[in-house]
Structure 1
Amino acid sequence: MPACTKALGQHCLHAFSQQVPASLGAFYRIDAQLQACDFQLLGMQAPMHHTYLEHYRHLDPLQPSNCLAIGLPVVSLRQGLAHHSEASGRLYQRFLNQHQVVDVVEVIAHVEGRPAAGLSLLRCSGLGLFQAHELQSLLPLHGLMQLAAHQLPSAPRDDRLQRLTPREREIAVLLREGVSNKQLARHLDLGLPTVKTHLINLFRKVGVKNRTELVGALFLPENARTQPSG
């Protein structure tokens, strides 16, 4: 992890958790595929974070692609769930409950119009829910975080992803993680026939024939997508 990323993460975690008390926290960089990476954790045990990455990331209503669709710099769990399918929201809240987490707020910093870094603050039952005035008090810190995010290594813009709608990008990221059509239907709160229609339209838009080609076209570097001849 670049030293500038680590330093920014440490400063942000300290400043935000001092401004609004939190039980746990995480700072991360957002790559060109709108995926959180290079995590720095505050108070969070590795097993919880590993379980999140392996089994619950795609259900998270506050993942970068969802926050981008909502369009706010500070997004509460309640706001995220309001823009999320009920089925996925219930599964994600079950994960939070297993770790005694009662509320989450996400702060997203943009650089040149694209999400570049994010910060999660989580509260366990002892601290209660985040209040509206507390979320409002995070806005000045968000402005400073956004200025500091210009120090981060820039993720190359990917025009293939930028041409997709936020919902299409969300579907593409889920396909990259290997979800089945049934899981996709549950996550999007749609019927299987509608999911298949979405996939057909997405394949046509990207110019591919199946999931494997879609993931390769959107997420693999050009040299990795080109098979050597001979």
Structure 2
Amino acid sequence: MSTPASLPEAHELGQRCIAAFTRVVPATLCAFYRIDPALQARDFSLYRMPEPMHQAYLQRYRQYDPLQPRHCAAAGRPVLSLRMGMAQQGRHASEIYQGFLQRHGVLDVVEILAHDGGRPIAGLSLLRDSALGHFSVEELGTLDALQGLLEMAALAPYSQVDERLSGLTPRERQIAWLLRDGADNKSIARRLDLGLPTVKTHLINLFRKVGVGSRTELVRTLFL
């Protein structure tokens, strides 16, 4: 049985969660993600996070992240700050991860997890630079109160469109959605804070992966 067309896609859910949470508790960078049965984060939806930073995290620094799903699940808290997470891991791992964050101008991080029957199924990372400062105790309390909204969104099922986008990187998915909405290259560059040459490179990779030769074909293949 096919999924009803009215179901929101995971990317849309992620962007809605990011918009709702950051309106109440500001953040510099954000990432919404699903959590698989092995407690691994996947299917990321990014906000202002540079692709090189995200790829470096996945390839080299994820293992040192004190806020990755399995650590948050072990802590037994739906909202966990970087300080709380680092208190539960060794000094060496914390120093490596802090070095990664500092190189990208990140001062503080908070993780919010959504659960289904006690198992974490989705998460939201909020990252701040020095301009916004550390998350306060009051803000952590606010995020804890909002966690139920994340849970409601995370329980929504995937649509068929998400399956078609599963082979794309988070940035490629963002560009695909913008193409669906009719955005041109300049609009995509502005919305995602990318250079035009970078947008063109992503488009070439998108066309190759999907096996199409034009924007119209790509939108038709992925979304219709």
TM bin, normalised by shorter chain, reads 0.5 to 0.7
TM superposition shift of 1:148: 2.4
Residue 25 of structure 1 aligns to a residue in which SS? strand
* 1:1-230 correspondence runs (5 A): 3-153=8-158
TM superposition shift of 1:3: 4.7
Which residue of structure 1 aligns with residue 187 of structure 2?
none
Match for 1:95: what amino acid? Answer: F
> C-alpha deviations, 1:129-158, integer Å up to 9, x for none?
1100001011222111112221135xxxxx
> C-alpha deviations, 1:10-66, integer Å up to 9, x for none?
111001111111100000000011000000101101000000000000000000000
Distance 1:61 1:3 in 2: 31
Distance 2:125 2:50 in 1: 15
Q: Is 2:79–2:143's contact at 8 Å kept on the other side of the alignment?
A: yes
Match for 1:152: what amino acid? Answer: P
Q: Which runs of 5+ in 1 are unaligned?
A: 154-230
> C-alpha deviations, 1:69-96, integer Å up to 9, x for none?
1010100000000011111000000000
Which residue of structure 2 aligns with residue 164 of structure 1?
none
Which residue of structure 1 aligns with residue 199 of structure 2?
none
Match for 1:141: what amino acid? Answer: L
Which residue of structure 1 aligns with residue 205 of structure 2?
none
> C-alpha deviations, 1:108-147, integer Å up to 9, x for none?
0001210000000000111111100001011222111112
| % identical aligned pairs | 52
TM superposition shift of 1:8: 1.4
TM (norm. structure 2) is 0.66
Distance 1:85 1:152 in 2: 37
Distance 2:18 2:42 in 1: 16
Residue 73 of structure 2 aligns to a residue in which SS? helix
Match for 2:32: what amino acid? Answer: F
Seen in structure 2, the aligned counterparts of structure 1 residues 79 and 152 have a Cα distance that, compared at 3 Å, is farther
Distance 1:143 1:65 in 2: 20
TM (norm. structure 1) is 0.64
Runs of 4+ in 1 over 3 A off after TM superposition: none
Match for 2:82: what amino acid? Answer: L
Distance 2:117 2:72 in 1: 16
Distance 1:35 1:111 in 2: 15
Residue 41 of structure 1 aligns to a residue in which SS? strand
Match for 1:101: what amino acid? Answer: V
Distance 2:119 2:10 in 1: 17
Alpha-carbon RMSD across the aligned residues, in angstroms, is 1.2
Q: Is 2:17–2:153's contact at 8 Å kept on the other side of the alignment?
A: no
